[in-house]
Chains A and B, each alone.
Chain A
């Protein structure tokens, strides 16, 4: 197959994610490691759905996560995780 081109976009931040994979195939992210290396624990995942990110430019499975007392979106785009740069919502 011809290779898919990827787009660079300053508002789309690919991040490392720690996650639990369940025996039934489900998956829940538990922590995000931001581009500067700091790790943020995800307290709760409140919503999971397919969604597009207009800000970051992309689509995927969107996890609405509670980090500290903030709500953030974490997107799983095929096999990579990304977040939108702040000031999104």
Chain B
């Protein structure tokens, strides 16, 4: 049976929520921007009036203001966006239990099983849009299709507040003329390669020889070819309120550039504490630690390494992260941002192989200390207990990654695995 998949995209999400709560700026060009003092001063979202002036997400504030001098810049209010995201999800949940969030503002719904209750996919899409408008005061675009890729493509085609259908009968007319870059996972690099080979539209990808694409792009070549042809079979992952966690990570653009290993150590401790605390909160241990480094020229790299044994203790994670950093970075330039991630997760209470050569008692003590820290911080706030090393530099040490930095983007294939 053909599936019915919806993809709902809340239009200009952050900016829409801000405009709803501030009627006085509703008719002005608005951009939600990070804090320039903390060097997060880029456009995170903008409304349609700002879009008309050519303002783009990711631009720095002054660039945006040059394009539109009367631009209203507002700081983000993440807790409010999270609330709206939850509310939207509870609307989706009344149509199906198969809801897969893609960031805060997007979600796929598999409504195949609900068409006999609520009517066709289009009817459900229209009803969902109407409810989002009335109940949340923001608008949504919904794509209706028989696979996730085309559903997402559809929701991007007509904005704001519209339903777009891409069916088996019309996908060649609707999806194929679109630029290749509109397809999920065709990024800038792939796009450049495609251009070199004379591939400019989704139709061009679809009509290429999959073996040639595979030879040139590897596994992804074939995947993109199947996406373009509507052969995507990836399921909408049913999720509760909490998504299935495949990794836990935190990253931060630091208030000032990091100049040496000491600075980095400090940040890595702060990030590792947050990662470890979140792992414990969700009952996980990680087997692999991944770090991500961006220097001030925006050159970026990531490396990962296995822990000797699975853990959720901040010291272990920090030491591994620091070792990875030391062996892979030669300080060509100062560093702008750093991320630490624990992946390859296992349940914290699963059995593990003890080692004869490590001090188990010390380890148990460490676990107890960290659990105590969690309790203290829960009762008296994050900064009630701190590592001494973080006090060496107040500016860097005063960041609180656990509560202030939420990472949103999610991988399409959970855990980065190909279908």
Total residues of chain A contacting the partner, CB 8 A: 19
Known contacts A2-B79, A57-B22, A57-B23; is-contact A52 B403 (Cβ 8 Å): no
Q: Other CB < 8 Å A-B pairs besides A2-B78, A58-B21, 8 of them?
A: A1-B79, A3-B79, A49-B135, A54-B20, A54-B23, A57-B22, A59-B87, A59-B137
B256 contacts partner chain A, Cβ-Cβ < 8 Å: no
> Is chain B's binding surface mostly helix, strand, loop or mixed?
helix
A9 contacts partner chain B, Cβ-Cβ < 8 Å: yes
A9→B25 CA distance, assembly (Å): 11
Q: What chain B residues lie within 8 Å of A41 (beta carbons)?
A: none
A-B contact pairs, 17 of them (CB 8 A): A1-B403, A4-B77, A4-B79, A4-B83, A7-B22, A9-B21, A9-B24, A50-B87, A51-B134, A52-B20, A52-B136, A54-B137, A55-B23, A56-B23, A57-B22, A59-B136, A59-B137
B2 contacts partner chain A, Cβ-Cβ < 8 Å: no
A49→B23 CA distance, assembly (Å): 22
Q: What chain A residues lie within 8 Å of B79 (beta carbons)?
A: 1-5
Interface centre among B21, B77, B79 (most CB of A within 10 A): B21
Q: Contact check, A50 vs B135: say whether CB atoms are below 8 A apart.
A: yes
B80 contacts partner chain A, Cβ-Cβ < 8 Å: yes
Q: What chain B residues lie within 8 Å of A58 (beta carbons)?
A: 20-21
Interface centre among A11, A52, A53, A58 (most CB of B within 10 A): A52
Q: What chain B residues lie within 8 Å of A59 (beta carbons)?
A: 20, 84, 87, 135-137
Q: Contact check, A53 vs B137: say whether CB atoms are below 8 A apart.
A: yes
Q: Contact check, A52 vs B404: say whether CB atoms are below 8 A apart.
A: no
Total residues of chain B contacting the partner, CB 8 A: 20
Q: Contact check, A52 vs B83: say whether CB atoms are below 8 A apart.
A: no
Q: What chain B residues lie within 8 Å of A9 (beta carbons)?
A: 21-24
Q: Distance (Å) between the CB of A48 and the closest chain B CB?
A: 13
Q: What chain A residues lie within 8 Å of B78 (beta carbons)?
A: 2
Q: What chain A residues lie within 8 Å of B21 (beta carbons)?
A: 7, 9, 57-58
Known contacts A2-B403, A4-B79, A4-B80; is-contact A51 B22 (Cβ 8 Å): no
Q: What chain B residues lie within 8 Å of A7 (beta carbons)?
A: 21-22
Q: Distance (Å) between the CB of B303 and the closest chain A CB?
A: 30
Q: Distance (Å) between the CB of A74 and the closest chain B CB?
A: 16
Q: What chain B residues lie within 8 Å of A57 (beta carbons)?
A: 20-23
Q: What chain A residues lie within 8 Å of B133 (beta carbons)?
A: 52
